[in-house]
Amino acid sequence: MNLFLAWIGSSQMVHLSKIDLAIVIFYFVFVLLIGFYLKKFATTGEDFFMAGREMTAWVAGLAFVSANLGSLELLGWAGSAYQYGILAAHWYWIGAIPAMIFLGLVMMPFYYISKTHSVPGYLQMRYGTAASGLSAVTFAVMTILMSGVNMYAMAVVMKVVLGWDINFSIFVSSITVAIYVAAGGLFSAIFNEVLQFFLIWFGALLIPILGLLETGGWNGMVARIQANFPNQDFTHMWRSLGHFKDNPMGMHWTGIVFGLAAVQSMGYWTTDFLVVQRVLSAKDIRSAKLAPVIGSFFKMAVPLIVILPGLLGLAVLPMHLVPASEAQAGQYTYNDVLPLMLARYCGPGLMGLGITALVAGFMAGMAGNVSAFATVWTYDLYRPFIRKTAPDAHYVSMGRWCTLIGVFISIGTAYLAMGFASIMDYVQALFGFFIAPLFGTVLLGMLWKRVTPMAGFLGLLAGTTASVTIFFLMKFNHDWVAVFALSPDAKGLAQDMYQSLWACTTCVVVTVLVSLFTKPKPDSELRGLVYSLTDVAHEEKTSLFHRPVFWGCLALATLIVLQIIFW
């Protein structure tokens, strides 16, 4: 044991005690045992890729929100909260809750009734192979890149916090993920996501509790931030969004409302198959509608363990953190704020729990990516384009191999992520490329029966092309920032919001125009896929408290109250 400790530990932020190490190792053993236990239940394609469609609303809802709560999310947004203040909470509130409610109440019935295995699978039924193939390829690329980003985030944490060798962290964690997902498929991924959800909450919740005790509550924290960073506003969500120059994010309220809330978050939460797959595993349509609504309440609470630690870092940390691109030897970066806060308050035992939460977040994030990748590859690329007819067992076997291969490809992509100064900038750029135009394609397809297969494909292609073009124009020539992001003062995240807005707008305009000049599908082929031709079950006979729409409205009302409190 001492040799093991000596090997993995060198220069680091904290030292793990033996009890911390026992907590970390127990988690690895535990998830592997669960994976082997679940293997016997993942025998058919429906089991392996869709968890048998037997999950309750609570399990599907927790997995839905947990699939988005990886280590990247924790570290990246805690770092963003240190860098931008409470503005980062927009990504949890207006940038998530309306979209989750929209998914549950409006879009999920179409996904569920059509019995699709995936979002590209829905496009296949609605638009045909061209749009589906394009979506599947872009999703597969994005998923593998995201998996690499997660791996990079985890390896950096292990290196900075514990001094662990980067290759050791990557290989041990990713091989564990590969084994348990290949064994139990989506069952394993969802079980692990629920475990991770609880681990993250109980591993990180002590930071805001002890932090607020140290600062004397919210007002004490705000006073300390103002003393440490005079003339900067880190604690108001809307007041400083009147002009790009008035806030540290370089953001305007139009970017938050139209770019983030109306396009990017809608695109992510309603069409990113990584999260939608969790809801598709629900046992019936009511559970499928309720799962995102349940998830929305937990999502609203996440800033407590992600944004608040970043703000507390502004208040109590003795040093000023810097961007990764400007860090000198011995300096800590924004992304280090959460581990630094963990080290500040947590001794042996609690430190092990916090580190396990981060490792679990990484592993769950990666498991989510590879399980979604395996499904899309097998059902949306391999089956329609390579082998159309094969026994179910063949596709399950393909899914298992694809899981293993996906993990190893993402190890390679982890090194791509290292080339970017900010992890979150990288991820936001990826979302903008693929997710924003996809939202336009899926939504138009669900709501307007006139949209034609050709229009769906060309709209998606035009939106993606516009997104990539705008991204590179703004990256390589700053003059374009004023054109696309409305002001030369718009910074990275603001640019991403407007990039998404333009991409989605391009997709919608091209889709509508092409639809007007091409032949639509007959109504008989669109039943169950389009709003006007689908009989969605109504809920008149259920009590108020059992209706997803009631809880959805309650979530939106809570969201409005939070905006007013932190205005």
Partner 1 sequence: MSEKSEIIPVWFFVGVLFLVYGVLILASGLAEWSHPPATVLSELHAPVWWGALLIALGAFYCLAFRPRKSS
CB of 68 closer than 8 Å to CB of 306:
no
| The only residue of 39, 47, 256, 506 in contact with partner 1, by rule CB under 8 A | 47
The 3-state DSSP class for residue 517 equals helix
Structural tokens at position 135:
């979506």
What is the rounded CA–CA span in Å between residue 209 and residue 201? 12
Structural tokens at position 300:
């609203």
Q: Which stretch binds partner 1 (CB under 8 A): 233-241, 302-310, 350-358, 497-505?
A: 350-358
What is the rounded CA–CA span in Å between residue 247 and residue 228? 17
The reply on whether position 358 binds partner 1 by CB under 8 A is no
Own/partner pairs, 402-406, CB within 8 angstroms, 24+ separation: 402/373, 402/374, 402/377, 402/378, 403/178, 403/181, 403/182, 403/185, 403/370, 403/371, 403/373, 403/374, 404/178, 404/182, 406/143, 406/144, 406/147, 406/369, 406/370, 406/373, 406/374, 406/377
| The only residue of 8, 16, 23, 183 in contact with partner 1, by rule CB under 8 A | 23
What is the rounded CA–CA span in Å between residue 222 and residue 326? 27
The nearer residue to partner 1, 197 or 379, going by C-beta atoms, is 197
| The only residue of 216, 242, 323, 349 in contact with partner 1, by rule CB under 8 A | 349
Q: Cα–Cα–Cα angle for 269, 507, 528, nearest 5°?
A: 60
| Rg of the chain (C-alpha set) | 23
The reply on whether position 26 binds partner 1 by CB under 8 A is yes
What is the rounded CA–CA span in Å between residue 331 and residue 110? 51
> Cβ neighbours of residue 197 under 8 Å, at least 6 residues apart?
62, 63, 65, 66, 69, 298
The nearer residue to partner 1, 63 or 101, going by C-beta atoms, is 63
Q: Which stretch binds partner 1 (CB under 8 A): 222-230, 318-326, 346-354, 449-457?
A: 346-354
Q: Which stretch binds partner 1 (CB under 8 A): 95-103, 344-352, 432-440, 520-528?
A: 344-352
Side chain identity, residue 551: W
CB of 507 closer than 8 Å to CB of 263:
no
The reply on whether position 37 binds partner 1 by CB under 8 A is yes
Q: Closest separation between CB of residue 465 and partner 1, Å?
A: 42
- Segment 312 to 341, residues that bind partner 1, using CB under 8 A: 316
The reply on whether position 49 binds partner 1 by CB under 8 A is no
| The only residue of 159, 289, 344, 400 in contact with partner 1, by rule CB under 8 A | 344
Q: Closest separation between CB of residue 195 and partner 1, Å?
A: 6
Q: Closest separation between CB of residue 407 and partner 1, Å?
A: 23
Q: Closest separation between CB of residue 210 and partner 1, Å?
A: 5
Query: Which DSSP symbol is given to 143?
Result: H
| The only residue of 198, 218, 385, 408 in contact with partner 1, by rule CB under 8 A | 198
What is the rounded CA–CA span in Å between residue 302 and residue 319? 26
The reply on whether position 213 binds partner 1 by CB under 8 A is yes
The nearer residue to partner 1, 346 or 514, going by C-beta atoms, is 346
The nearer residue to partner 1, 180 or 377, going by C-beta atoms, is 180
Q: Closest separation between CB of residue 200 and partner 1, Å?
A: 12
The reply on whether position 345 binds partner 1 by CB under 8 A is yes
Within 10 angstroms of residue 330's Cβ, the number of other Cβ atoms is: 6
| The only residue of 140, 177, 190, 460 in contact with partner 1, by rule CB under 8 A | 190
Within 10 angstroms of residue 311's Cβ, the number of other Cβ atoms is: 28
What is the rounded CA–CA span in Å between residue 371 and residue 47? 12
What is the rounded CA–CA span in Å between residue 311 and residue 208? 10
| The only residue of 112, 191, 379, 382 in contact with partner 1, by rule CB under 8 A | 191
CB of 109 closer than 8 Å to CB of 287:
no
| The only residue of 151, 154, 194, 266 in contact with partner 1, by rule CB under 8 A | 194
Q: Which stretch binds partner 1 (CB under 8 A): 14-22, 129-137, 378-386, 554-562?
A: 14-22
The reply on whether position 214 binds partner 1 by CB under 8 A is yes
The reply on whether position 41 binds partner 1 by CB under 8 A is yes
Q: Which stretch binds partner 1 (CB under 8 A): 52-60, 322-330, 446-454, 539-547?
A: 52-60
The reply on whether position 32 binds partner 1 by CB under 8 A is no
| The only residue of 30, 385, 408, 472 in contact with partner 1, by rule CB under 8 A | 30
Q: How many CA atoms lie within 13 A of 157 on its CB side?
A: 34
The reply on whether position 472 binds partner 1 by CB under 8 A is no
The nearer residue to partner 1, 13 or 409, going by C-beta atoms, is 13
Burial 34-52 (b: 16+ CB within 10 A, else e): bbeebbebbeebbbbbbbb
Site string for partner 1, 276-315 (x = CB under 8 A): ----------------------------------------
Structural tokens at position 28:
């690895």
**What ranges in 67-165 are assigned the alpha helix state H?**
71-84, 97-102, 108-113, 119-126, 129-157
Interacting residue ranges for partner 1, rule: CB under 8 A: 17, 19, 22-23, 26-27, 30, 34, 37-38, 40-41, 44, 47, 52, 54, 59, 187, 190-191, 194-195, 198-199, 202, 206, 210, 213-214, 316, 343-350, 352-353
